[in-house]
């Protein structure tokens, strides 16, 4: 998935992934979840159990200071099927609920309309353009525990 050029075009530059790097990343994510209670998680199709992508939250340190970043990546065959929005809502509810985070942010390239539409459909609010991960002019969205509610819970 992350070696697919169509998926990669909206991600920061990185070396091609191998099974070795995949195993290392997987162990790092397991350790992060044990240590702080959250990480990136696999997203599977409910009906088939097939892996369709990943979604989760992680601490980051950028120019704005420490933040919690929401990220998601999906196999191209899974685009436009609602997986992204459903997973983002679940991750925001978990992070701002039981985990106890006050704020979660996410960024996307402006031309990645599908990604920032997921953020909007999940109830995140646009905050402006920022520079993260060596990329300039990313659209930043936020969700705060104070006001965010799952879209189906809003009156």
- pLDDT tier for residue 79 given thresholds of 50, 70 and 90: confident
More confident residue, 117 or 14: 117
Per-residue confidence (pLDDT) for residue 123, from 0 to 100 = 96
Report the relative pairing of strands 103-108 and 135-144 from DSSP bridges. Answer: antiparallel
pLDDT tens-digit map of 35-70: 888 888 889 998 999 989 889 998 887 666 679 999
What three-state secondary structure class fits 112?
Answer: coil
Tokens of 132: 């993260």
**Per-residue confidence at 12, pLDDT binned at 50, 70, 90?**
low
For tokens 């909206």, the residue is: 10
Reported as a pLDDT band with limits 50, 70 and 90, residue 135 is confident
pLDDT at 132: 87
User: pLDDT tens, 80-127?
Assistant: 888 999 999 999 999 999 999 999 999 999 999 999 999 999 999 999
Question: CATH code at 71?
Answer: 3.40.630.30
pLDDT at 97: 94
What is the C-alpha separation between 113 and 99, in angstroms, rounded?
29
Q: What's the number of CA atoms in the CB half-sphere (13 Å) around residue 28?
A: 9
Mean pLDDT over residues 128-149, rounded?
93
Give the domain range for residue 119: 5-153
Total domains in the chain come to 1
| pLDDT beyond 80 at 3 | no
């Amino acid at each position: 998935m992350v070696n697919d050029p169509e998926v990669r075009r909206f991600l920061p530059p990185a070396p091609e992934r191998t099974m070795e790097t995949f195993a290392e990343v997987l162990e790092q994510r397991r350790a992060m979840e044990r240590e702080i209670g959250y990480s990136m998680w696999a997203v599977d199709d409910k009906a088939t159990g097939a892996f369709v992508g990943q979604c989760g939250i992680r601490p980051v340190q950028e120019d704005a200071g420490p933040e919690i970043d929401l990220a998601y990546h999906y196999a191209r065959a899974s685009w436009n099927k609602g997986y992204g929005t459903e997973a983002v809502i679940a991750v925001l509810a978990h992070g701002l609920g039981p985990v106890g985070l006050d704020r979660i942010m996410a960024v996307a390239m402006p031309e990645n309309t599908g990604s920032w539409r997921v953020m909007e459909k999940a109830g995140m609010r646009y905050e402006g353009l920022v520079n993260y991960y060596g990329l300039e002019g990313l659209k930043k969205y936020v969700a705060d525990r104070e006001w965010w509610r799952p879209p189906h819970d809003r009156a």
